[in-house]
Amino acid sequence: MTTATKTQTDKAGHAAHTKAADSQLGLPGEVQQPIKIVMLGAGSMFTPRLLRDLLQIPGLRGGEIALVDIDTSRLDTMNRLVQKLVGESGLTDWTVTASPDRRQVMAGARYLVNCIEVSGVECVGWDNDIPLKYGIDQCIGDTIGPGGLFKALRTVPVFLDVLRDIEELCPDAWVLNYTNPMSIMCLAAGRSSRVPVVGLCHSVQGTSHKLARDAGVDYAKMTWACAGINHLAWFTRLEHEGQDLYPVLMEKVSERAGDVYESDPVRYDMMMHFGAFITESSGHLSEYLPYYRKNPDLVKEYCRDGYRGGSRFYASNWPQWRSNADEEREAMVRGDKDMNWSRSWEYASWIIEAREKDAPYRIHGNVMNQQGNAGPLISNLMSDGCVEVACMIDRAGIHPTRYGKLPAQMAAICDWNMRMFDLAATACMEKSKEAAIHALMLDPLTAAILCPAQIKQMTLELFEAEKDHLPGYR
């Protein structure tokens, strides 16, 4: 794709994205045939909203929604909830099935939405507390660092089994992956399977709207470019009616005080020093970097509570969040809680609509950097890595757009994390403890705190604690 063509495509796609996400309008045309969508990990927080979005696609001809979850209690609740969603939609041409065995329902699927969580809440404490004993303070710890690595070691092998089932049972299906750790999941998939996989996150949508609010401008009149890796993509262009918004934002946070700065201290500090805003919240972002969590004084200076950097935030809250979600779903089934949501900015339903209507639509997706023989999408990042870039969707497929070269300082931060993901994916695919140890030796936060011998000791301690959830690792 030439630069001129890319620019035209991105502008058209951005206009479509803004119209769809803000006014909740569907794309023109009708879906030509019924579709089958399989929700893997149907007990996930994503399922109710994603399926409500699906049912709001105009011109959809119905089909089958297949729910899969090995937790039969959550599966039963979600089955009743989705049956209710379909019933309340007034659409009579949808059927809902449920099974704890994915192979029973995968045949003929056109889409598989992957929301699996391997091991439930059992390992969350170990993922956080063993590294904390060694001085590694995590906020979220599910995509990078020791917590992210061990979630990958548990989850990726299951995902690769799913992809093998897809190749056998529904080879024309697209996989829409919502499961973290996103980069490692998509990287392992891209290196080991021919199934079309795109990793979907809402950090680009959420951050672009946040930047409009913080700058005090109309989102619909804002233009931007964003590229990098998941949770570490950079808004390299940010304009409102032709005006660069970065001087406006720089002025608002120059004193490192006030509501705008306090809403995201780490992200705004990175913007001031590196030149662009990043897509993930301060707390999570601080885990991708060597700067902000390596001693208590820095944590106190730059990190705040909750998603802004709270210590042990995810590990302390995730079990209760799951329990609350279960109670909320039962309330929805009883009719005590409304499910009449507007169509959301989550990408899944827009991808399905764009493909089925052959109406191009732009998303930001996680895909392999090398696409065919045309060179990397981001030219100064590793070609066999996973990147997050603008992608156009139509009936012919998922078409990533070529970004070009990131500013050197931004590319270097992405590259550092990608080297960790590279070895983490190898560890998952080969079930190699050695590769896992090397992955954490290259993890920015871990390397800022521990020497190689300590990293090896900590990693082996994590393997021992979680051995029942890590079969086959050598």
Residues taking part in catalysis: 202
Tell me, what amino acid is at 385?
Answer: G
Q: Could you give the CA distance from residue 218 to residue 208 in angstroms, rounded to a whole number?
A: 11
| Dihedral angle computed from the Cα positions of residues 155, 160, 162 and 168, in that order, rounded to the nearest 10 degrees | -170
Q: Which residue has the tokens 């070009």?
A: 404
Q: Which residues contact 255 (CB under 8 A, 6 or more apart)?
A: 261
Q: For residue 392, give both structure tokens.
A: 């156009």
Q: For residue 141, give both structure tokens.
A: 């710890």
Q: Could you give the CA distance from residue 441 to residue 436 in angstroms, rounded to a whole number?
A: 9
Question: What is the SS3 assignment for 356?
Answer: helix
Contact (CB, 8 A) for 238 and 245:
yes
3-state SS record for 4-73? HHHHHHHHHHHHHHHHHHHHCCCCCCCCCCCEEEEEECCCCCCHHHHHHHHHCCCCCCCEEEEEECCCHH
Name the nearest CA neighbour of 278 among 407, 160, 151. Answer: 407
Rg (CA), the chain: 22
Terminal alpha carbon distance of the chain: 44
